[in-house]
Structure 1
Amino acid sequence: MTANGADNQTLSEMEAVLGGDIGLEELNEYLFSYVRNLPNDKKSKLTVANSIWFREDKNRLTVEKDFLQKNADYYNAAAYKSPFDGQTLKDINNWVKENTDGMIEKILDQIDDDAVMYLINAIVFDAEWETVYNKANVREDSFTAIDGNKQTVDFMHSEENIYLDDGRATGFIKPYAGNKYSFVALLPNEEIAIGEYLDMLSGEGFLQTIDGAINTTVSAALPKFSYDYKIQMNDALKAMGMPQAFSPVQADFNKLGQSSRGNIYIGEVLHKTFIQVDELGTRAGAVTKVEMKDEAYIETKIVNLDRP
């Protein structure tokens, strides 16, 4: 959504990171079609919601109508003109809570004075197992945490029929109801640390592992767990190749709008997730917030009186 407001070099960098060889218009069309065709039924659903919140101050911010319309057309993004006060803070967090089925309660702690827009994406996955576990399938056992400490947890035992082995890890695939979605579990070999394995794992490599799946009986033990996580993605996105979007001086978001206070740029990209896996299935939610700012850039001059 944010890229639809970018132009020139800022847009080129964002296209390269977000779509690779795919241009923005083609990427918009692809994502529109992808989300529209996501399989959903009573026992397994994957839903996506988007919203754009912008500051109500006509003397300060002008938002391009084409930007709002394009994001409405392709991403069904609702647009909210708001005063960016305490009520707006509540409204945004309530939207997040509602569109993650309560799994993520908020994405904002405060609204900064130099914030002019928030672009929010929320995703929910909620699915039952094709075969749910019964009480006899759940037994306590020892789990070794990433810090090496052992803890007693509930393990869910089952027989699966799809085995994975990429030479560095083994695992299995467990289907959800309707066989439209599946849970993929991978366990690195004992001599390979989890961090090392993740560093080696690529999207292409992951798909090759799935393509190489073997049909055979797998005795699987899966721990029940819930986990939440958040990460600021500014540095990662800059390192991937789109630093200009975060620059108060160089960012070009003229297709998004203009501010009388200064150039508009990305202030923060924050990603929050939650997942719960139990006897019935999996519930997961994710929210990404893109904060646009208009803080005027003031070059600092240095005068150091360390000589006559």
Structure 2
Amino acid sequence: MSNAQRAGRKAHNLIWYGAAFAVIAAILCSYLFAGNVNSDHIIAKPKYPGKIGFNDFEERLKRREEIDEEFIDNLKKFSFNSASMILKEEDSKTNALYSPMSLYMALAMMAESAQGSTQEEILKAISMNDMDMIREQTGKLFRKLYFYNEIGRLNLANSLWLNKDIEFNKSFLDKMAADYYAHSFSVDFDDKYTSRKISEWVSEHTGGKLGTDPDDFPIDSEQVMTLLNTVYFYDEWVDSFNADKTAKDTFHLEDGNTISCDFMNMTRGSHRFVGADGYIASGLSFKNGGSMVFILPDEGISSMDMVSDPAILSEAVNSLFSEKCQFGKVIFKIPKFNYKAELDLRKSVESLGIKSVFEAGTADFTPLSETKPIFVSEIKQSAAISIDEKGCEATAFTKIDYVGAARPDGTAEMILDRPFIFAITGADACPLFIGVINNPAA
């Protein structure tokens, strides 16, 4: 192999994973690392916020941080623009799931590792003005979204897996630990057991739903770094469904066929809903805050057409927090679902304007390492979600490979027996997940 070829592969599989996860049953995970990761390998590690009891309202109030409104607006703009671009490409016969929070965290860290025009492209794509805003506000966002108590948990975790033979900028690693809560591990990419270590870390920080197969994390001797981001979420409905009222019924597919599935049923009085031209929206709240918004397009309107327009998607998801919202009786009939989705995000990221990161001759990741060249080969996200009478479970990980070289009146019927859209939101209504259910039995 020539020197040029080796340079072209130098940072092969410098990977960035983002995982976002919502679980039904409380699964307690270590904050540090999977059990098989030796602590001697840790180069830098963050200090996580301590746990707060669900009923310790005073302490929870002390933890609340005000986040810059411009940052939140920019984050939402990126979330809906990227969701529309990504989800519109999905097959209308299958279910789709995307975590904008996971991709944001991955791209924010990528921006931190870049400089010059490479960094500028990333900042523009995620609708952010500068790195100072990202560093300060992303840390605040982490702490505001974060909760860990006997009811549920929402945590973002990041890690960098570094080739032990490559010199990385220590100041960069320290910054990642301080501002992005990222662990840094030194590993041997000649040792196949490293794949298992990475796999175990992802599995642990996604409640065991993702990362269970080491083959999903291939390594080779030319690999420079693997970066992972996880978002773990577990919470229960404020108003749980009565399992005795769950019953089989018919769901109408986009192609005119029907399938039978279990529907959860509940009626709420004086509940929020929006009846707008083209859709009905309502939502269910979680005990630790946040909510799951359900959007049912009118008959004859495709859910895929709705998500393809970022303005309409943003309006629909945010409608329950706007002046359009009204209160009345809401009849919920929601199918139980449980599915996984795989997304190849490279083309979507390029469409957002991030292009130079994929080019060996122009990508500039000098803040990360003086090793040249380093560039990105692919960006992928895997996701999974399920809901039942008690709560919601969702998970996603984003993988970035770096390489070298009719309106209701007073009553809303959320009868979700045809394709619909949903969003899970956290603090300040920030979208954690956005998805489309085309076939709940799939």
| Range class of TM-score, shorter chain | 0.7 to 0.9
**Once structures 1 and 2 are overlaid, which stretch shifts more, 26-35 or 131-140?**
131-140
Matched letter for residue 28 of structure 1: R
Matched letter for residue 347 of structure 2: D
Larger Rg: 1
Q: CA deviation at 1:255?
A: 0.8
Match of 1:249 in 2: 361
Q: Distance in 2 between matches of 1:250 and 1:124?
A: 35
Q: Distance in 1 between matches of 2:125 and 2:155?
A: 24
SS at match of 2:218: coil
Q: Distance in 2 between matches of 1:103 and 1:168?
A: 35
Match of 1:24 in 2: 131
Q: Distance in 1 between matches of 2:237 and 2:314?
A: 27
Compare relative contact order (CA 8 Å, sep 6+) and give the higher one, 1 or 2: 2
Distance 1:166 1:65, change over 3 A: farther
Q: CA deviation at 1:146?
A: 4.3
- 1:139 equivalent among 229, 247, 250: 247
Q: CA deviation at 1:220?
A: 0.9
Q: CA deviation at 1:248?
A: 1.2
Q: Distance in 1 between matches of 2:255 and 2:135?
A: 42
Q: CA deviation at 1:47?
A: 1.2
- 1:200 equivalent among 306, 309, 329: 309
1:71 lines up with 2:176 in the alignment: yes
Q: Is the 8 A contact 1:44 1:176 kept in 2?
A: no
Match of 1:301 in 2: none
Aligned length: 288
1:181 lines up with 2:293 in the alignment: no
Match of 1:298 in 2: none
Q: Distance in 2 between matches of 1:39 and 1:253?
A: 30
Match of 2:401 in 1: 291
Matches within 5 A, 1:1-308: 1-18=109-126, 20-38=127-145, 40=147, 41-57=149-165, 61-84=166-189, 85-106=191-212, 108-160=216-268, 161-178=271-288, 180-202=289-311, 204-206=314-316, 208-210=318-320, 211=322, 212-259=324-371, 262-295=372-405
Give CA deviations for 1:42-100 in whole Å, capped at 9, x if unaligned: 2232111110011122xxx3211121111100111000111113111000110000000
Q: Is the 8 A contact 1:120 1:289 kept in 2?
A: yes
Using structure 1 for the length normalisation, give the TM-score: 0.88
Q: Distance in 1 between matches of 2:280 and 2:316?
A: 12
SS at match of 2:370: strand
Matched letter for residue 239 of structure 1: S
Q: Distance in 1 between matches of 2:183 and 2:373?
A: 24
Q: Distance in 1 between matches of 2:302 and 2:223?
A: 41
Q: Is the 8 A contact 1:5 1:255 kept in 2?
A: yes
Which sections of structure 2, spanning at least 5 residues, go unmatched? 1-108, 406-442
Matched letter for residue 144 of structure 1: H
Q: Distance in 1 between matches of 2:203 and 2:300?
A: 41
Q: CA deviation at 1:206?
A: 3.8
Matched letter for residue 25 of structure 1: D
Q: CA deviation at 1:241?
A: 0.8
Q: Is the 8 A contact 1:117 1:293 kept in 2?
A: no
- Higher fraction of strand: 1
Q: CA deviation at 1:112?
A: 4.3
**Once structures 1 and 2 are overlaid, which stretch shifts more, 273-282 or 105-114?**
105-114
Q: Is the 8 A contact 1:124 1:285 kept in 2?
A: yes
Q: Distance in 1 between matches of 2:239 and 2:286?
A: 8
Identity of aligned residues (%): 26
Q: Distance in 2 between matches of 1:183 and 1:125?
A: 12
Q: CA deviation at 1:113?
A: 4.7
Q: Is the 8 A contact 1:71 1:77 kept in 2?
A: yes
Using structure 2 for the length normalisation, give the TM-score: 0.62
**Once structures 1 and 2 are overlaid, which stretch shifts more, 104-113 or 234-243?**
104-113
